[in-house]
Amino acid sequence: MDPVRHLKISVIILLLLVSAGTVGFVTIEHWRFLDALYMTVITLGTVGFKEVHDLSDTGKVFTMTLIVVGVSVLGYIVGSLAQIMFEGQIQRVIGRKKVEKKIDALHGHYIICGFGRIGSLICKEFFSHKLPFVVVEKNMDTIEKIDEDGYLHMKGDATQDETLLKAGIKRAKGLISVVTSDSENVYITLTARGLNADLFILARSSEDGSDIKLKRAGASKVISPYIIGGTRMAQSILRPNVIDFIEIATGSGHLDLQMEEINIPSHSLFSGETLVSSGFRKETGVIIIGIKKSHGKMVFNPDSQTRIDASDTLIVLGNPESVSKLKNLILHHGPVAAKQQHKGHSHHE
């Protein structure tokens, strides 16, 4: 049992003993309440002061019983306090409360179940992109590693409803299940889908046929690291330059080139414009290599007359500064302003 819980139970028993002792002296010796309470406290504290009044034989037996029980309870309390202080339980409890408050404040976050090799890499990427997330892990040794990395986390079994509810699954945007066991990933997916029908669930698959089970369980998307890794290694031999380009474009630490996706807001003034009329390429210099339409269709290498609609997602390629400029243009400007800005630049030249 947790030492803190030990201490709480001991204090409750001590309070009950004080109450029982006070009532006992009032009933047996017919003392005043204050005298009975005083006698109970000095008896339990084994102080050794003289009795408030002379005791009857029944009162003496009652007092001896109170001393034996009281000393045992007080010894138990002292032991619990020592364990709490030596093991740093107080600091852990306070720290845990702070973490719980941070988790309760999360909204639109991701829940990452499992902190193995894949889970740790996902956390690293999310952390570098300042994406809110909480890790759920049940292995104590692994939790110590998460503590060192400074990620928000909680100890628990992700297959249990209570654990996912504490992780804020009702408010979460997505869940990523990357524990090593496919069966556990299936259980986690089933539990998560039952608690939040609209949740995006990404699950890891290791064995053949597990992807089908995971999708039946409610996974939005299933990824097999072994298939991706094997395919990537083969392509590194078959198409090395293509793979080099992809690694440069998608690498989070690369400073010269960045591939990014940018969503067109529902209220955007660019909705209804074409790629050429929007002025994206002229104003920012980015290359739009694809458009994910709001209904799900992907348009690869769109031509200049491709229409942009609200809730579309642009897949763009360019240097980080240009990508940031495009994001700012889409969020804070319209096509008219963009064209005027472009004209101003041309006139100045």
Q: Look up residue 110 and give its two tokens.
A: 């991701």
Last residue of a domain, one of 227, 262, 294: 227
Distances (CA, A) of 147 to 123, 140, 141, 144, 235: 13, 11, 10, 5, 37
CA–CA separation, 275 vs 156, rounded Å? 49
CB 172 within 8 A of CB 199: yes
pTM assigned to the model: 0.61
Q: Look up residue 17 and give its two tokens.
A: 């003993």
287 lies in a domain? Answer: yes
C-beta pairs of 179-184 under 8 Å, 24+ apart in sequence: 179/113, 179/114, 179/116, 179/204, 180/114, 180/116, 180/206, 182/206, 182/207, 182/210, 182/213, 182/214, 184/158, 184/159
Q: Look up residue 10 and give its two tokens.
A: 């001991």
Q: Are residues 295 and 221 in the same domain?
A: no
Q: Are residues 59 and 140 in the same domain?
A: no
Last residue of a domain, one of 87, 118, 148: 87
Q: What is the CA radius of gyration of the chain?
A: 33
pLDDT at 348 > cutoff 80 = no
| HSE-up of residue 147 (Cα within 13 Å, Cβ side) | 11
CB 176 within 8 A of CB 111: yes
- Give the domain CATH number at 28: 1.10.287.70
Paired strand residues for 153: 135
pLDDT digits (tens, 9 = 90+) for 53-62: 888 888 888 8
159 lies in a domain? Answer: yes
Range of the domain at 117: 107-227
Q: In degrees rounded to 5, what are phi and psi of residue 33?
A: -60, -45
Q: Are residues 267 and 333 in the same domain?
A: yes
114 lies in a domain? Answer: yes
Question: Residue 344: its pLDDT value, please?
Answer: 47
11 lies in a domain? Answer: yes
Q: Are residues 70 and 159 in the same domain?
A: no
- Give the domain CATH number at 312: 3.30.70.1450
Q: Are residues 115 and 223 in the same domain?
A: yes
Question: Residue 303: its pLDDT value, please?
Answer: 92
Q: Are residues 61 and 126 in the same domain?
A: no
CB 243 within 8 A of CB 232: yes
Mean pLDDT to the nearest integer, 241-258: 72
Q: Which residues contact 37 (CB under 8 A, 6 or more apart)?
A: 18, 22
| pLDDT confidence band for 349 (50 / 70 / 90) | very low
Q: Are residues 115 and 219 in the same domain?
A: yes
pLDDT digits (tens, 9 = 90+) for 288-323: 999 999 888 999 999 999 999 999 999 998 888 888
Mean pLDDT to the nearest integer, 21-40: 89
pLDDT digits (tens, 9 = 90+) for 67-109: 888 888 777 777 777 766 665 555 666 667 888 899 999 999 9
Q: Are residues 195 and 285 in the same domain?
A: no
Q: Are residues 203 and 276 in the same domain?
A: no
pLDDT at 253 > cutoff 70 = no
| HSE-up of residue 297 (Cα within 13 Å, Cβ side) | 4
Q: Are residues 80 and 133 in the same domain?
A: no
Cα of 88 vs its chain's centroid, Å = 24
Last residue of a domain, one of 211, 227, 243: 227
Question: What's the DSSP call for residue 266?
Answer: T
Domain count within the chain: 3
How far the first Cα of the chain sits from its last, in Å, is 76
| pLDDT confidence band for 43 (50 / 70 / 90) | confident
98 lies in a domain? Answer: no
Question: Residue 343: its pLDDT value, please?
Answer: 46
Q: Going by DSSP bridges, is the β-strand pair 298-300/287-292 parallel, antiparallel, or unpaired?
A: antiparallel
25 lies in a domain? Answer: yes
Q: Are residues 135 and 215 in the same domain?
A: yes
52 lies in a domain? Answer: yes
Q: Are residues 184 and 223 in the same domain?
A: yes
What proportion of the chain, given as a percentage, has pLDDT over 70? 87
Question: What's the DSSP call for residue 160?
Answer: S
